[in-house]
Amino acid sequence: MDTNDRYGDQRRTGRSPGRFRLVAAAGAAALTLTAGLATPLNPAPEQARAADDGKKVLTVAVAQSVDSLSPFLAVRLLSTSIHRLTYEYLTNYDPKDNHVIPGLATKWESSPDKLTWTYTIRSNSKWSDGKQATAEDAAWTFNKMMTDEGAATANGSFVGNFEKVTAPSPTKLVIKLKKPQATMTALDVPIVPKHVWEKVDDFSKFNNDKDFPIVGNGPFILTDYKPDSYVRLKSNKDFWRGAPKFDELVFRYYKDQDAAVSALRKGEVSFVAGSPSLTPAQAASLKGEKNIHVNDAPGRRFYALATNPGAKAKNGEKMGDGHPSLLDQRVRNALFKAVDRKAIIDKVFQGHAVEGAGYIPPRFSQYFWKPSPDQELTYDPEEAARMLDQAGLKKNADGRRVGKDGKPVNYRVLCHATDPNDKAIGKYLQEWWGKLGIGVTLKCLDNVTDPWLAGEYDLAFDGWSVNPDPDFVLSIHTCAALPATPKDTGATDNFICDKKYDELYAEQLAEYDPTKRADIVKQMESRLYDLGYMNVMAYPNAVEAYRTDQIKSITTMPAKAGNIYGQDGYWSWWSAVPADSGDSSDDSSSAGVVIGIVAGVVVLAGLGVFLAMRRRATADDRE
Amino acid sequence: MTTTENGTTKQQAEQVPVAVRPRALAWRRRRASVARFWRQYRTHRAGLFGLGALLLFALLALTAPLLVGSDVDNVTDAPGGPLEEPSAEFPFGTDRFGRNLLGLVIWGARVSLLVGLLAAVLSVAIGTLIGVTAGHFKGWYATVMMRITDWFLVMPTLVLAIALATVMPRSLLTIIVAIGVTTWPTTARLVRAQTLAVETRPYIERARALGGGHWHIMSRHVLPNVMPLVLAQTTLIISAAILAEATLAFLGLSDPSVVSWGALLQDAREAGAVSSGHWWYLVPPGVAIAVVALAFTLCGRAVEQVLNPRLGVSR
């Protein structure tokens, strides 16, 4: 880069004697840093892009590590998105409005008692090694999950209710159920090729990351993967819905979000989603940029404050050490009444989120629920203080509330050290609850899983991405999801176990009528809200950005105000159209950079003068 | 070392004409050496600059409660909007919560300086203890101690500190301990070398012949002689400790609810200030860290040169 040359020049003229060399170097380093980080010193962003062989490559900046490339183990957003791209599912969701559309299955029907489901498998889908994808592959996938515990790790909840899965012909798949199950057209399970996977011994350990390219039948084929470095996929020219427009799709790792944004500015990547999203400051500065489009859409995530309900295992044994005062519903509700959701939206998310209400985000309008006015826990710190008084948490002489054990109440709040929003909201909680006389200790950890699974927390920042079918996010609060013994790991999110909620859950799962089912789901949300163990503070937006000189168009999901990264389906990357490599002179240079460079030059020049004078002075001294 | 020796010669010279009581004599001697030290220190211009900067920052840190008030880190009553540019009301702009950055930088000086000082004192205390005992007792004890020192010396300090800060609960004490127990080996080596040199001097033998025990020799004769070196070393380690604190806080290993310069940089990074061009979020804490670290280094070097004339040839 040309800054290096400038640095060299400065050094030659400056000739710093010993101990000042460091300062000079620091000044120069600051200059390089400003220039390098904050951007386009090399004005022509690389185009999308015809590498030498004319391949069109779409590069996406990601930060999340891949937990596993095996569809039987992967649960993280990036890994499951990759599986969407490389394997077909029986059904898919329409990108416009999330309704169920054909995937590997072209049509499906159920017997009158709704216990036998027959799927017709398409005959125009081929595995990338040339073999035909058949109903036999699907039957084998489901049977494996039903019989092998290791294969049920990620998606076991879908097959828990299956009695028998058979493939009477290559195009016909029959699933027999024990009880009716409403998620039969939303089985989010990647179908894998039997002839490849039947050679696997231990499904709980096999990560599918040794033999490339990985045999699949999705719109892309995984060709290469290096952990925390890149994931490379090439387009599947024979994909039945039509080949993707880009020849190659690369997920490249940028563990630092600032670096990812700079890479977008320079054109090294075409798309940045951020983890979990771009910060308000980054979004605002990218908005003014030429050739960059910022997509700010309602997200599919909720962001909640989970309260430890006195964690227990299925066998009734107590786990962890949640604060006993939180078992009182008045205390939980009082705490949430002292949380100013509006301030969180305005200050922390700076408008890039929607105020929290029910458990399921408003984007899924059929399941979205709002508390009634007399049920709603509105922001009211005075009322919260009264409720705490009633619950028996009286203030002592120092103004701190004391529990039944006579000790001042201090809650441990588990927070993700990697999520800036957790820390920011944690600061607010400390002040809001501090005014009530309740102490808060933020426990920000890189790995919150260990204390979380052990139930060693009082409150915790929590959040899930919700699928068009809400079954999964509802299932994680049932008693059935609790760990069997304190030593086991359950699917439970927050150790909630409520009889009424469980009854409603079973009822909705067996309800095939969409309106009636939605009604029951709303009742579940209402119950969850009243319990006060899952307090939804906000629904964060998906704030992401891409280069319009590299991507001409891309599908958002839902079509109106939808997100691009982490969709339920492969729509965004499959539909992305490369931009023509026209000329795009980039003369925009942000003021900050100019100021930074000027400041750097001034500092170095000043230092040069100072040193020159000093040299003279020391020379005089020596004489 | 050299000071006391000079002191002794002077004392002998003065003793002949007037008989003075030993305590008064000792005080006079100390005053004289302080005055001499200051005279020499004054000639180091860089040292004076460092001292001035330090006094300024110490004054700011001590008067921070009066200057900015303890509610400066309050997020709920933040006076401005998020990430406002520098203006007359907020000379350094505001942070992502809308807090006044000038106030935060001043407030952050308290933590950064406190952690720097305490960590350096801890580090030097460990180093001096091990150095003096190893130099005095020699034998297998010294061998064992020095091997432990070597082990710590070759361990990458920052990695060790990060590991310590990760396993211990997140608090200021953790950071102080993490820095303290990882930076002492250089001090131990230096002090041991000096102890060995001091112990060969005849008056130590004399003291031993007069019945001085281990404790007497170490505390009355060796320690005062290695003290100047220890002082210079402390000043130098403080700047390293402040940098280490900033590094650990920047990596998010400090208590998230405490305002320090490193934590401000971490905040700025999390807010995406680097890539969105909000330079005023980064520059003030960065410059403050650089200036204070530089000031301590300049002071340390100046003290070193005054105390050890061999270093001062170029001056």
Considering CB atoms only, which of A282, A423, A432 is closest to B275? A282
State yes or no: pLDDT of A622 exceeds 80.
no
Burial class of A21 by CB neighbour count within 10 A (0 to 12, 13 to 18, 19+)? middle
**CA-to-CA distance for B246 and B248, rounded, in angstroms?**
6
For residue A326, the number of C-alpha atoms closer than 13 Å in the C-beta half-sphere is 26
Collapsing DSSP states into helix, strand and coil, what is residue A502? helix
**CA-to-CA distance for B175 and A127, rounded, in angstroms?**
55
Tell me the chain B residues in contact with residue A619 when contact means C-beta distances shorter than 8 Å. Answer: none
CB contact residues (below 8 A), chain A span 231-260, against chain B: 256-259
Considering CB atoms only, which of B75, B98, B272 is closest to A282? B272
DSSP per residue, A338-358: T--HHHIIIIISTTSEEE--S
Please indicate whether, in this complex, the C-beta atoms of A284 and B276 are within 8 angstroms of each other. Answer: yes
Residue A428, strand partner residues: none
- Please indicate if any CB of chain B lies within 8 Å of the CB of A261: yes
Question: Is the peptide bond preceding residue B285 cis, with omega within 30 degrees of 0?
Answer: no
**CA-to-CA distance for B80 and B286, rounded, in angstroms?**
22
**CA-to-CA distance for B258 and B121, rounded, in angstroms?**
21
Q: Are A573 and A62 in contact (CB under 8 A)?
A: no
Q: pLDDT tens for residues A97-117? A: 888 999 999 999 989 888 999
Using alpha carbons, select from B235, B233, B266 the residue that is nearest to residue B249. Answer: B266
For A323, phi then psi, to 5°, come to: -65, 130
* Residue A431 to chain B, least CA–CA distance (Å): 7
State yes or no: pLDDT of A534 exceeds 80.
yes
Q: What is the pLDDT of residue A518?
A: 93
Confidence of residue B295 (pLDDT cuts 50, 70, 90): very high
**CA-to-CA distance for A458 and A441, rounded, in angstroms?**
10
* Residue B22 to chain A, least CA–CA distance (Å): 41
State yes or no: pLDDT of B16 exceeds 80.
no
For B202, phi then psi, to 5°, come to: -60, -35
Interface test with B, best of A282, A345, A411, A623 (most B CBs within 10 A): A282
State yes or no: pLDDT of A12 exceeds 50.
no
Considering CB atoms only, which of B76, B83, B275 is closest to A428? B76
Burial class of B43 by CB neighbour count within 10 A (0 to 12, 13 to 18, 19+)? middle
Please indicate whether, in this complex, the C-beta atoms of B276 and A591 are within 8 angstroms of each other. Answer: no
Q: Are A131 and A196 in contact (CB under 8 A)?
A: no
Share of chain A above pLDDT 70, in %: 85
Q: Are A37 and A613 in contact (CB under 8 A)?
A: no
**CA-to-CA distance for A208 and A214, rounded, in angstroms?**
8
Chain A: residue whose CA lies nearest to B45? A614
Burial class of B144 by CB neighbour count within 10 A (0 to 12, 13 to 18, 19+)? exposed
Please indicate whether, in this complex, the C-beta atoms of A426 and B275 are within 8 angstroms of each other. Answer: no
Q: What is the pLDDT of residue B249?
A: 86
Collapsing DSSP states into helix, strand and coil, what is residue B12? helix
For A89, phi then psi, to 5°, come to: -105, 165
Please indicate whether, in this complex, the C-beta atoms of B76 and A432 are within 8 angstroms of each other. Answer: yes
> Pick the residue with more confidence: B249 or A522?
A522
A584-611 average pLDDT score = 59
Please indicate whether, in this complex, the C-beta atoms of B275 and A285 are within 8 angstroms of each other. Answer: yes
**CA-to-CA distance for B315 and B304, rounded, in angstroms?**
13
End-to-end CA distance of chain A: 43
CA dihedral B8, B10, B11, B17 (to 10 degrees): 150
- Please indicate if any CB of chain B lies within 8 Å of the CB of A91: no
Q: What is the pLDDT of residue A612?
A: 59
Q: What is the pLDDT of residue B188?
A: 93
Tell me the chain B residues in contact with residue A278 when contact means C-beta distances shorter than 8 Å. Answer: 272
Structure tokens at A568: 């339920």
Please indicate whether, in this complex, the C-beta atoms of B276 and A261 are within 8 angstroms of each other. Answer: yes
- Please indicate if any CB of chain A lies within 8 Å of the CB of B272: yes
Interchain CB contacts (distance < 8 Å): A and B: 92
- Please indicate if any CB of chain A lies within 8 Å of the CB of B85: no
A240-268 average pLDDT score = 91
Q: What is the DSSP letter of A10?
A: H
Please indicate whether, in this complex, the C-beta atoms of B97 and A424 are within 8 angstroms of each other. Answer: yes
Q: pLDDT tens for residues A446-460? A: 778 888 888 999 999
DSSP per residue, A103-167: SSEEEEEE-TTS-EEEEEEPSS-B-TTSPBP-HHHHHHHHHHHHH-TGGGTTTHHHHTTEEEEEE
Using alpha carbons, select from B196, B173, B181, B311 the residue that is nearest to residue B237. Answer: B181
Longest dimension (CA), chain B: 76
DSSP per residue, B206-223: HHHHTT--HHHIIIIIIH
Cα A237 to Cα A1, A117, A122, A355, distances in angstroms: 39, 32, 17, 44
Share of chain B above pLDDT 90, in %: 27
State yes or no: pLDDT of A41 exceeds 60.
no
Element (H, E) at B164: helix B157-167
Type of residue found at A474: L
Q: Are A337 and A380 in contact (CB under 8 A)?
A: yes
**CA-to-CA distance for B180 and B173, rounded, in angstroms?**
10
Please indicate whether, in this complex, the C-beta atoms of B276 and A281 are within 8 angstroms of each other. Answer: yes
Collapsing DSSP states into helix, strand and coil, what is residue B105? helix
* Residue A269 to chain B, least CA–CA distance (Å): 15
b (16+ CB within 10 A) / e for A479-503: bebbbeebeeebebbbbbbbeebbe
Q: What is the pLDDT of residue A52?
A: 53
State yes or no: pLDDT of A619 exceeds 80.
no
Rounded to 5°, angle at Cα B153 from B221 and B216? 15
* Residue A420 to chain B, least CA–CA distance (Å): 6
Tell me the chain A residues in contact with residue B277 when contact means C-beta distances shorter than 8 Å. Answer: 38, 285, 590-593
Q: Are A457 and A414 in contact (CB under 8 A)?
A: yes
Considering CB atoms only, which of A23, A26, A285 is closest to B276? A285
Using alpha carbons, select from A349, A475, A369 the residue that is nearest to residue A420. Answer: A349
* Residue B128 to chain A, least CA–CA distance (Å): 27
Structure tokens at A391: 């619950």
A277-305 average pLDDT score = 89
State yes or no: pLDDT of B127 exceeds 90.
yes
Distance of CA A316 to the CA centre of its chain: 33
Confidence of residue A382 (pLDDT cuts 50, 70, 90): very high
- Please indicate if any CB of chain B lies within 8 Å of the CB of A196: no
Tell me the chain A residues in contact with residue B273 when contact means C-beta distances shorter than 8 Å. Answer: 281
> Pick the residue with more confidence: A613 or A526?
A526
Collapsing DSSP states into helix, strand and coil, what is residue A623? coil
Residue A461, strand partner residues: A305
State yes or no: pLDDT of B194 exceeds 50.
yes
Q: What is the DSSP letter of A408?
A: B
Please indicate whether, in this complex, the C-beta atoms of B275 and A590 are within 8 angstroms of each other. Answer: no
A309-338 average pLDDT score = 90
- Give ipTM to 2 decimals: 0.76
**CA-to-CA distance for A509 and A585, rounded, in angstroms?**
56
Q: Are A136 and A170 in contact (CB under 8 A)?
A: yes
Q: What is the pLDDT of residue A544?
A: 92
* Residue A203 to chain B, least CA–CA distance (Å): 33
Using alpha carbons, select from A215, A247, A253 the residue that is nearest to residue A234. Answer: A247
Interface test with B, best of A423, A445, A590 (most B CBs within 10 A): A423
**CA-to-CA distance for B45 and B43, rounded, in angstroms?**
6
Q: What is the pLDDT of residue A104?
A: 92
CB contact residues (below 8 A), chain A span 580-609, against chain B: 590-593, 595-596
Collapsing DSSP states into helix, strand and coil, what is residue B260? coil
Q: What does the mean pLDDT of chain A come to?
A: 83
* Residue B20 to chain A, least CA–CA distance (Å): 41
CB contact residues (below 8 A), chain B span 32-51, against chain A: 46
Pairing of strands A271-272, A57-62: parallel
- Please indicate if any CB of chain A lies within 8 Å of the CB of B293: no
**CA-to-CA distance for A597 and A619, rounded, in angstroms?**
33
State yes or no: pLDDT of A610 exceeds 50.
yes
* Residue B32 to chain A, least CA–CA distance (Å): 27
Chain B: residue whose CA lies nearest to A420? B270
- What is this structure's pTM? 0.77
